[in-house]
Amino acid sequence: MRSSLRRQLLHLATDLSALVANPEDLGHGFDLLTRSYVTPVADAARNALRGDPSIAPLIHERYWGPWPSPPELLALPADSLGHAYASWFSAAGGQALPDPVLQTGSDGDDIWLHQRVRHTHDLWHVVCGCPPTAAGEAAMNAVNVMQLRWPGSAMLLGADLLHRCLEGPASGEVDVGQAAAYGLELGRVCAPLLAQRWEEGWDRPLSNWQEQLGITELVARSPFKVEMSRV
pLDDT digits (tens, 9 = 90+) for 138-187: 999 999 999 999 999 999 999 999 999 999 888 888 999 999 999 999 99
Q: Which residues contact 188 (CB under 8 A, 6 or more apart)?
A: 146
For the whole model, what pTM was predicted?
Answer: 0.91
Q: Can you tell me the distance from the alpha carbon of 201 to that of 80, in angstroms, rounded to the nearest whole number? A: 9
Structural domain of residue 180, as residue ranges?
3-229
Own/partner long-range contacts of 73-76 (Cβ < 8 Å, ≥24 apart): 73/202, 76/202, 76/203
Question: Is residue 211 within 8 Å of 192, Cβ to Cβ?
Answer: no
State the DSSP code for 70: H
Distance from C-alpha of 228 to C-alpha of 222, rounded to nearest angstrom: 10
Report how far apart, in Å, the C-alpha atoms of 166 and of each of 23, 138, 158, 161 are.
12, 16, 12, 9
The pLDDT assigned to 92 comes to 85
Task: Write down the pLDDT at residue 105.
Answer: 63
How many CB atoms are located within 10 Å of the residue 207 CB? 15
Number of domains in the chain: 1
pLDDT of residue 95: 79
Would you give the end-to-end CA distance of the chain in angstroms?
A: 47
The parts of the chain modelled with pLDDT lower than 50 are none
Rounded to the nearest 10 degrees, what angle do helices 81-91 and 206-213 cross at?
A: 100
Q: Using CB atoms within 10 Å of the CB of residue 230, give its burial: 0 to 12 exposed, 13 to 18 middle, 19+ buried.
A: exposed
